[in-house]
């Protein structure tokens, strides 16, 4: 007797043709991987064939498909609707119904639940292959109870093999409609307080050491469908630690109420809470790592947290289909060549740029109005939108996160997308020319079609250099992308950029309000993301170097900052840390760095002290650091200092006794050698880092530091702005050059050329 229904515990990954990719994977995890998976059973592909044959509709379906031009949206809709109606109106064969009822009741007895609530999901036999994602092509039915409801939901799942999007996808990928069969998965329903998606590879950059989690309140359909902007977490596998998190808006949730599934608004206080605690992120990430190790490939995983028990469950696991197929033999970088006005912004998906005429379409019924090369602007997408998404030059949505449908498909298509803008349909108009920029790690939509360039370098063509080439990193958002550049680490990560973008409030205001922990956590996550992105290569983090006018611009800052005639040479850097007025705020910075190094395990993070006028000031700063857990050499901690003041060069030997290395801040050094306020526009014709007086000071430092066996790098603008500066630095004997990411690859070639000439 053919087996039309089997328990999930009876199948594994060898049974994809029998129960589909999704069900085979669930069975594999239940028997082979120690992760919590809800019990269940599957209607097999034999059950599907039996249904279609008994209904006598196979040839009619074939005839409809043969006569349909799937590129015509109206024809596709008509054909899909007709086929689905044929299936739904057919009677479920008695033998199939009996086997479904038997397995359902057997599962209920094991759970001690009569008419147990179950989730009913499709599992196509060509689904979730390593190089093609069928995710979202068929339907899911939640909170199904009783044999009659279950049989009806099973029939609807079978019909969903012929949704418009599924038909189009199979045609586009060259899959035979009748070689792709459908299995139906039935699992114990997890009534979720929170749920989401987990990628065991960073979904935008493809960083293999980073595991990414999206989380929102309630059942997971809103996250999968891109209907909410979820919380985002980054977990670093080598050190087994949470290194970054971002709060999502989570404005709506899907819940089980009064025996039905409803979508409701989330109260503001709950929106401002993270769905997962840190220990829950770590537990979930451990499950993800176990699944990835078992399958030996990056995975795309759905999860849920039970509302009653708080237990975390794995609901699905399938291969990740974008970055896992990328051989990584080339580095492509996109760069805007023009400046423009930002209309709106959101979360960047990928790191590309696209431009074209905006077409605002809020209803999938109107997708026929979309034309090739336009920028699709909409509330959110689902698989019904795929026929036009492949025609788009870029995609902009108001809702969704990095694992939403729009994000996943745009990565597969290789086009720029910005999700979660909240207001795109209101601020962009159909016919308006726009540029969608994801190149900086932030999603920005500019007015007009801006010129941009794409640079591609083959990895095996990039030479090795004796002089280290490092990166200056401003914001953490693109750290996972930049961390895959063939560079030697980070020569300058600016704390003030992280404070400005992640926190935005004056530290003394937070102290007064008793919110020190907020400052420490956000700063540590920002630094942690950069540290993880480049691990185990060194990441030099410069302590905050806001000037008084910049601190005053932070929320609440005016209350705590004096007015100075020239903030450039005022209360900044080390002088601020050692002052009585700022020591408590400085202690928060130190605690954030301690957590990064000790709690996150990112001991590749080093610390740099800026604008240090005297040796005594340096010693006092180091003393305060040690009192706050950052003693030099503790767990290998190295301390560097910026060289921005002539006194740093004049007394280089004495400063060298206190630090492990120097980094030239060419902007401030030029300012103070030439006596030019670099903010004074009237003197810009004099301000020049190539001036011989400045270059001589750099040569002096390199020589004196070398005699003290201390490394010298440079992190000012000069080597980024002036191509010939690398040649001068190599000839002077510098140890490392830190530049902005956009010129990093070219700098490597220039350094190599200079080294070859000097041999």
Cα separation, 669 vs 653, in Å, equals: 18
Q: What is the pLDDT of residue 742?
A: 77
Helices (H), 123-219: 147-159, 164-173
Q: What is the pLDDT of residue 324?
A: 61
Cα separation, 368 vs 372, in Å, equals: 11
Mean pLDDT score, 69-88: 89
* pLDDT(648) > 50: yes
Mean pLDDT score, 652-656: 97
CATH class of 330-455: alpha beta
Q: What is the pTM of this model?
A: 0.84
CB 721 within 8 A of CB 472: no
Return the SS3 of 558: helix
Mean pLDDT score, 123-131: 58
Give the up-direction half-sphere exposure of residue 419: CA atoms within 13 A in the CB hemisphere.
28
Q: What is the pLDDT of residue 138?
A: 57
Q: What is the pLDDT of residue 132?
A: 43
CB 415 within 8 A of CB 338: no
Mean pLDDT score, 598-626: 98
Tokens representing 160 are 């969903």
CA-to-CA dists, residue 64 to 52, 78, 385, angstroms: 15, 10, 22
Q: What is the pLDDT of residue 1?
A: 60
Confidence class for position 325, pLDDT limits 50, 70, 90? low
DSSP class per residue in 196-235: EEEESS-TTT--TTEEEEEEEEB-THHHHTT-S--EEEEE
How many C-beta atoms lie closer than 10 Å to residue 62's C-beta? 13
Tokens representing 300 are 């795309």
Average pLDDT, the chain: 91
Mean pLDDT score, 697-718: 94
Q: What is the pLDDT of residues 81-120, one digit of tens each?
A: 999 999 999 999 999 999 999 999 999 999 999 899 999 9
Confidence class for position 680, pLDDT limits 50, 70, 90? confident
715 included as an active-site residue:
yes
CB 637 within 8 A of CB 667: no
Cα separation, 583 vs 299, in Å, equals: 46
Active-site annotation holder among 157, 438, 590, 715: 715
CB 121 within 8 A of CB 22: yes
Return the SS3 of 554: coil
CB 414 within 8 A of CB 352: yes
Q: What is the pLDDT of residues 183-225, one digit of tens each?
A: 999 999 999 999 999 999 998 888 999 999 999 999 998 888 8
Nearest one of 717, 723, 713, 725 to 745, comparing CA atoms: 723
Mean pLDDT score, 618-642: 97
294 included as an active-site residue:
no
Q: What is the pLDDT of residues 278-298, one digit of tens each?
A: 999 999 999 999 999 999 999
Q: Residue length, the chain?
A: 759
CB 605 within 8 A of CB 541: yes
CA dihedral sign of residues 420, 421, 423, 424: negative
* pLDDT(405) > 90: no
The set of residues, in sequence order, having a beta carbon less than 8 Å from that of 235 and lying 6+ positions away, is 210, 211, 212, 213, 241, 242, 243, 281, 282, 285, 288
Q: Where in the chain are all domains bearing CATH 3.30.470.20? A: 192-325
Q: In what order do the strands lie in the sheet with 231-236?
A: 241-246, 231-236, 210-217, 192-199, 299-306, 312-319
Burial string for 148-163 (b: 16+ CB within 10 Å, else e) reads: ebbbbbbbbbbbbbbb
How many C-beta atoms lie closer than 10 Å to residue 443's C-beta? 24
Active-site annotation holder among 168, 207, 405, 506: 405
How many C-beta atoms lie closer than 10 Å to residue 325's C-beta? 14
The H-or-E segment that residue 312 falls in is strand 312-319
The set of residues, in sequence order, having a beta carbon less than 8 Å from that of 509 and lying 6+ positions away, is 554, 555, 556, 557, 559, 560
Beta strand 490-494 with 468-473 is parallel
Confidence class for position 329, pLDDT limits 50, 70, 90? low
* pLDDT(124) > 50: yes
DSSP class per residue in 447-484: ES---EEEEEEEGGGSPP-SSEEEEEE--GGGHHHHTT
Q: Where in the chain are all domains bearing CATH 3.50.30.10? A: 330-455
Q: What is the pLDDT of residue 46?
A: 94
Q: Which option is the CATH number for 192-325: 3.90.1300.10, 3.30.470.20, 3.30.70.1230, 1.25.40.20?
A: 3.30.470.20
* pLDDT(326) > 90: no
* pLDDT(728) > 60: yes
Cα separation, 235 vs 246, in Å, equals: 12
CA-to-CA dists, residue 525 to 339, 425, 510, 600, 695, angstroms: 30, 32, 17, 9, 37
Q: What is the pLDDT of residue 720?
A: 79
Topology of 467-639+717-758 in CATH? TIM Barrel (3.20.20)
Q: What is the pLDDT of residues 549-563, one digit of tens each?
A: 999 999 999 999 999
The set of residues, in sequence order, having a beta carbon less than 8 Å from that of 339 and lying 6+ positions away, is 450
Helices (H), 4-142: 16-32, 45-55, 58-66, 73-88, 94-111
Q: Which option is the CATH number for 5-188: 3.10.450.50, 3.40.640.10, 3.30.1490.20, 3.60.15.10?
A: 3.30.1490.20
Q: What is the pLDDT of residue 327?
A: 55
Nearest one of 713, 731, 477 to 606, comparing CA atoms: 713
Phi-psi region of 503 (alpha: psi -120 to 50; beta: other; left: phi over 0): alpha
Percent share of the chain, pLDDT over 70: 97
pLDDT winner (highest mean) among 139-148, 517-526, 712-721: 517-526
Tokens representing 243 are 């290194």
* pLDDT(133) > 70: no
* pLDDT(721) > 90: no
Cα separation, 405 vs 208, in Å, equals: 21
Q: Where in the chain are all domains bearing CATH 3.30.1490.20? A: 5-188
* pLDDT(270) > 90: yes
* pLDDT(131) > 60: no
Mean pLDDT score, 6-33: 92
* pLDDT(130) > 60: no
Tokens representing 660 are 């492990």
């Amino acid at each position: 007797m053919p087996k039309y229904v089997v328990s999930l515990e009876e199948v594994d990954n060898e049974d994809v043709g029998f129960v589909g990719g999704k069900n085979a994977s669930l069975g594999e995890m239940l028997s082979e991987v120690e992760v919590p998976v809800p019990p269940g059973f599957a209607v097999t592909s034999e059950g599907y064939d039996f249904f279609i044959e008994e209904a006598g509709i196979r040839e009619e379906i074939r005839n409809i498909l043969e006569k349909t031009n799937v590129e015509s949206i109206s024809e596709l809709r008509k054909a899909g609707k007709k086929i689905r109606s044929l299936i739904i109106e057919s009677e479920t064969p008695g033998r199939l119904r009996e086997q479904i009822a038997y397995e359902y009741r057997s599962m209920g007895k094991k759970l001690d639940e009569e008419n147990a609530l179950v989730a009913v999901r499709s599992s196509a036999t060509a689904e979730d292959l390593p190089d093609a994602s069928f995710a979202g092509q068929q339907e899911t039915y939640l909170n199904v109870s009783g044999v009659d409801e279950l049989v009806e939901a099973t029939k609807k799942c079978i019909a969903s093999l012929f949704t418009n999007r599924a038909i189009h996808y199979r045609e586009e990928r060259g899959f035979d409609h009748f070689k792709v069969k459908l299995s139906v998965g039935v699992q114990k329903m997890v009534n979720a307080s929170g749920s989401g998606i987990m990628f065991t590879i960073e979904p935008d950059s493809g960083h293999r050491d980073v595991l990414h989690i999206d989380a929102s309140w309630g059942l997971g359909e809103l996250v999968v469908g891109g209907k909410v902007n979820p919380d985002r977490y980054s977990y670093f596998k080598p050190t087994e630690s949470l290194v970054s998190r971002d709060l999502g808006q989570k404005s709506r949730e899907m819940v089980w109420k009064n025996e039905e599934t409803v979508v409701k608004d989330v109260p503001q206080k709950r929106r401002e809470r993270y769905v997962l605690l840190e220990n829950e992120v770590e537990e979930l990430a451990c499950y993800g790592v176990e699944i990835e190790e078992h399958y030996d490939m990056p995975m795309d995983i759905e999860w849920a947290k039970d509302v009653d028990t708080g237990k975390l469950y794995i609901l699905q696991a399938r291969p990740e289909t974008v970055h896992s197929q990328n051989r990584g033999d080339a580095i492509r970088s996109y760069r805007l060549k023009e400046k423009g006005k930002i209309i709106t912004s959101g979360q960047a998906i990928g790191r590309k740029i696209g431009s074209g005429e905006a077409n605002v379409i809020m209803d999938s019924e109107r997708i026929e109005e979309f034309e090739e090369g336009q920028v699709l602007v909409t509330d959110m997408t689902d698989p019904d939108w795929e026929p036009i998404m492949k025609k788009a030059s870029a995609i902009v949505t108001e809702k969704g996160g990095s694992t939403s449908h729009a994000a996943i498909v745009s990565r597969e298509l290789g086009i720029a997308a910005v999700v979660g803008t909240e207001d795109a349909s209101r601020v962009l108009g159909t016919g308006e020319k726009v540029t969608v920029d994801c190149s900086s790690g932030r999603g920005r939509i500019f007015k007009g079609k801006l010129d941009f360039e794409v640079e591609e370098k083959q990895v095996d063509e990039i030479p090795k250099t004796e002089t280290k080439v490092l990166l200056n990193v401003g914001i953490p958002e693109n750290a996972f992308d930049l961390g895959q550049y063939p560079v030697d680490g980070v020569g300058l990560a600016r704390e003030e950029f992280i404070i400005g973008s992640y926190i935005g409030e004056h530290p003394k205001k937070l102290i007064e309000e008793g919110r020190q922990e907020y400052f420490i956590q956000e700063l540590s996550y920002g630094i942690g993301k950069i540290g993880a992105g480049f691990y185990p290569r060194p990441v030099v983090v410069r302590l905050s170097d806001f000037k008084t006018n910049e601190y005053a611009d932070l929320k609440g800052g005016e209350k705590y900052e004096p007015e100075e005639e020239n903030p450039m040479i005022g209360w900044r850097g080390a002088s601020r840390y050692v002052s009585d007025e700022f020591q408590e705020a400085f202690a928060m910075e130190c605690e954030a760095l301690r957590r990064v190094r000790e709690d996150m395990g990112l001991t590749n993070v080093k610390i740099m002290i800026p604008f240090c006028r005297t040796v005594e000031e340096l010693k006092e700063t180091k003393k305060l650091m040690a009192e706050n857990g950052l003693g030099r050499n503790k767990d290998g901690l190295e301390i560097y200092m910026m060289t921005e003041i002539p006194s740093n060069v004049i007394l280089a030997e004495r400063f060298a006794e206190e630090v492990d290395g120097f980094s030239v801040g060419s902007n401030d050094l030029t300012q103070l050698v030439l006596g030019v306020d670099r903010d004074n526009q009237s003197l810009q014709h004099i301000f020049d880092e190539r001036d011989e007086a400045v270059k001589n000071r750099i040569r002096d430092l390199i020589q004196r530091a070398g005699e003290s066996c201390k490394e010298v790098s440079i992190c000012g603008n000069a080597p980024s702005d002036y191509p010939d500066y690398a040649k001068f630095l190599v000839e002077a004997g510098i140890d490392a050059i830190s530049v902005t990411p956009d010129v990093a690859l070219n700098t490597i070639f220039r350094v190599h050329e200079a080294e070859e000439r000097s041999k």
